[in-house]
């Protein structure tokens, strides 16, 4: 009997996994679709599938071209391709591991993506990625600040700081006076493409989570969406908070998604030379065959 992979014209099945990332309970995080075996898909096909699925991101696991990487991932959102995103990084690592992937380095999977190589620590369902360096940081200019405030629908008097946090998505971050101010934000319905605005505010002393985060981005048609839980934004937030003296070793816990029915939990680990963004990545469905 001839093995399938030796048959003339044989191509491995293209399969779809669904992962719940940063969840704090059943189906409470950010859903991610991961496509395995889609090496022959064009960029246009990847984007079309991403739009059809309707998740904030869909990823495509590919063989690495960098010998230092365990796998390569392309990350798409409805308006295009991203060089990096956080919950897709954790979810893609979980899918790769569940499909039999074994990291070359014990306990650390190395992802190749648009920003280069990203380390992902592995401890069962709990994964954490090393935050990549910010491509742009520093204060927003007055026009950028005013536009971020308008888009997010926050009271200008609540804004402590307004900064860039570009780590792939070009986040414009508003640090607000409290977590309550974050939850009270009323964003606009539409905005220019692309728009990526994040909010962070602190809870009071003794709270289970130290910070609350919200993230807004535009789809291909300029409709403003709220992301359930956002790894890239939380990475940028953590790097800003550390740099501004609002967070320190060993780290903190953040929440996200309350306003849209999610319950995201983000564990931020701060080390002297790195920030790690961690959470659960639970496989909800695995191995659905795709016919494209």
Domain locations along the chain: 4-132+279-289, 136-272
4-132+279-289 and 136-272 in the same fold: yes
d(CA 64, CA 71) in angstroms, rounded, equals: 5
For residue 12, what pLDDT is reported?
60
Fold classification of 136-272 is: Diaminopimelate Epimerase; Chain A, domain 1 (3.10.310)
Has residue 1 got a pLDDT over 60?
Answer: no
d(CA 259, CA 279) in angstroms, rounded, equals: 20
For residue 283, what pLDDT is reported?
96
Q: Dihedral angle at the C-alpha atoms of 275, 210, 218, 47, nearest 10 degrees?
A: 50
Fold classification of 4-132+279-289 is: Diaminopimelate Epimerase; Chain A, domain 1 (3.10.310)
Average pLDDT (100-109) is 96
For residue 270, what pLDDT is reported?
98
Tallying the residues shown for the chain, one arrives at 292
10-19, 46-55, 126-135, 148-157: which range is least confident on average? 10-19
Strands (E), the chain: 15-21, 30-36, 58-62, 71-77, 80-82, 108-113, 116-123, 126-130, 136-139, 159-166, 170-176, 196-202, 211-218, 224-226, 251-256, 264-270, 275-289
For residue 213, what pLDDT is reported?
98
Other CB atoms closer than 10 Å to residue 66's CB: what's the count? 11
The answer to whether the beta carbons of residues 32 and 9 sit under 8 Å apart is no
Average pLDDT (105-131) is 96
Q: How confident is the model at residue 96 (pLDDT cuts 50, 70, 90)?
A: very high
């Amino acid at each position: 009997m001839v093995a399938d992979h030796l048959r003339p014209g044989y191509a491995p099945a293209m399969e779809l996994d669904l992962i719940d990332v940063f969840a704090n309970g059943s189906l409470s995080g950010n859903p991610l679709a991961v496509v395995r075996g889609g090496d022959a898909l064009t960029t246009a096909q990847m984007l079309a599938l991403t739009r059809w699925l309707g998740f904030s991101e869909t990823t495509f696991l590919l063989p690495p071209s960098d010998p230092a990487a365990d796998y390569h991932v392309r990350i798409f959102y409805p308006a295009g391709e991203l060089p990096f995103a956080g919950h897709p990084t954790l979810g893609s690592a979980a899918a790769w591991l569940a499909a039999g992937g074994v990291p070359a380095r014990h306990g650390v999977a190395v992802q190749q993506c648009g920003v280069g190589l990203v380390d992902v620590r592995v401890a069962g369902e709990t994964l954490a990625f090393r935050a990549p360096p910010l491509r742009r940081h520093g204060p927003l200019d007055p026009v950028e600040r005013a536009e971020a405030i308008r888009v997010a629908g926050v009271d200008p008097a609540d804004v402590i700081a307004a900064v860039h946090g570009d780590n792939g998505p070009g986040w414009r971050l508003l640090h607000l006076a409290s977590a309550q101010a974050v939850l009270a934000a009323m964003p606009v319905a539409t905005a220019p493409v692309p728009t990526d605005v994040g909010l962070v505010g602190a809870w009071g002393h003794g709270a289970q989570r130290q910070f609350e985060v919200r993230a807004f981005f535009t789809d291909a048609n300029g409709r403003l969406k709220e992301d359930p839980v956002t790894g890239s934004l939380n990475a940028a937030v953590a790097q800003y908070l550390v740099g501004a003296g609002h967070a320190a070793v060993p780290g903190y816990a953040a929440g996200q998604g309350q306003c849209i029915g999610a319950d995201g939990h983000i564990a931020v680990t701060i080390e002297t030379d790195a920030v790690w963004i961690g959470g659960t990545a639970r496989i909800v469905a695995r191995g659905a065959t795709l016919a494209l």
